[in-house]
Amino acid sequence: MTTRYRSFAFTLLTAATLILTSCDDFGDGFSDSKRFKEDFHYTYSVKPGAKLSLENLNGAVEISGWEKDSVEVNGSKYASTEAILNGLKIDVVASEDFVRIRTIPPSGHRGNRGASYMIRVPRRMELERIVSSNGGIRLEDLDGPARLRTSNGGVRVLRLRGPVEVLTSNARVELNDQTGGAVVHTSNGSINARLRDPERGKTIKLESSNGGIDLTLDSLNDNDIQLNTSNSSIDVRLPGGAHADLKASTSNGRVTSDFNVAVKSGEMSKAKVEGTIGAGGSMAPLSQMDLSTSNGSIRIHKL
């Protein structure tokens, strides 16, 4: 191979690598170089505690909190032809109590089309229903409940003070510095969550298939913790003074714990543990932990 040919091949390889590494499952799957595009911008005044809903297709959604009593919607709609772009509508219904946004595709047209959104809202706002497809959802700095649903796109939640419900597929989910309960389901993707101060008595339910689960709890407050996956491992990190009833089982793997586990009944094996962590049944109410996987290990760590 000549020096010139090697240099050309290296350039192609480098370019391909940059393209691949610049993409992740929090964006959309369309190339800017092959679509018609049109930006949009709207602003609406709302009361604190108002509700936001969004129905989108084929695009990423980013929502962040700020100190203003207004919702600012910035975005871009795109399509493979100008005719499809002109037929693609952004429909908004707004009042002081709610803002409802829909991306409406043109009837009778096929081809790539969709929209991406960057939305700023008052910190204390309820995300009533945020739905997208083929694109990720990101939330940051919000106070209130959030219900999120997408497909083929990752979900990333940062500094949410409220319960969250997430449903996605073929992508990972990340929760960081969240307060409240959490119910998460994904497939073919991992779940990585850190809950700073779970609301007392709230359920923490994380489910995946073919993806690992990594959960860190800075505190336990009588929470019902349910973690389930397949063909991967589960890692749980708990504060040193944790008290919980524990059920953990796997096949083709091991269950290990940094905590002493007092066995309730039967035998404790390398693949199944049922017992109490910490003071166990002498303290009430008590957190409940149910961990299960197949073809993977379960590891319980002490913070």
Q: Report the pLDDT value the prediction gives residue 107, as an integer from 0 to 100.
A: 83
121 domain residue, yes or no: no
Q: Nearest CA to 212 among 165, 269, 250? A: 250
Least confident segment among 112-116, 181-185, 247-251, 261-265: 261-265
Question: Which domain, by its residues, includes 291?
Answer: 172-303
Give φ, ψ of 2 to 5 degrees: -75, 160
Q: Report the pLDDT value the prediction gives residue 268, as an integer from 0 to 100.
A: 75
Average pLDDT, the chain: 86
Q: Nearest CA to 182 among 162, 152, 155? A: 162
CA–CA gap between residue 239 and residue 198 (Å, rounded):
13
Q: Report the pLDDT value the prediction gives residue 221, as an integer from 0 to 100.
A: 87
282 domain residue, yes or no: yes
Whether 194 shows a pLDDT value over 70: the answer reads yes
**Residue 125 in tokens:** 């706002």
* pLDDT, tens digit, 9 for 90 and up, residues 27-77: 554 544 347 999 999 999 999 899 999 999 999 999 999 999 999 999 999
Q: Nearest CA to 286 among 247, 246, 243? A: 243
C-alpha distances in Å from residue 281, one per residue of 52, 164, 275: 43, 29, 10
Whether 110 shows a pLDDT value over 70: the answer reads no
Question: What is the average per-residue pLDDT within 190-217?
Answer: 93
- Per-residue confidence band for 22, with pLDDT thresholds at 50, 70 and 90: very low
45 domain residue, yes or no: no
Total domains, the chain: 1
CA 188 to chain centre: 13
* pLDDT, tens digit, 9 for 90 and up, residues 270-303: 899 999 998 644 555 678 999 999 989 999 999 9
Cα-only R_g, the chain: 23
Q: Report the pLDDT value the prediction gives residue 24, as an integer from 0 to 100.
A: 46
* pLDDT, tens digit, 9 for 90 and up, residues 69-81: 999 999 999 998 9
214 domain residue, yes or no: yes
43 domain residue, yes or no: no
- Per-residue confidence band for 267, with pLDDT thresholds at 50, 70 and 90: low
Q: Report the pLDDT value the prediction gives residue 282, as an integer from 0 to 100.
A: 52
Q: Left, alpha or beta for 123 (phi > 0: left; psi -120 to 50: alpha)?
A: alpha
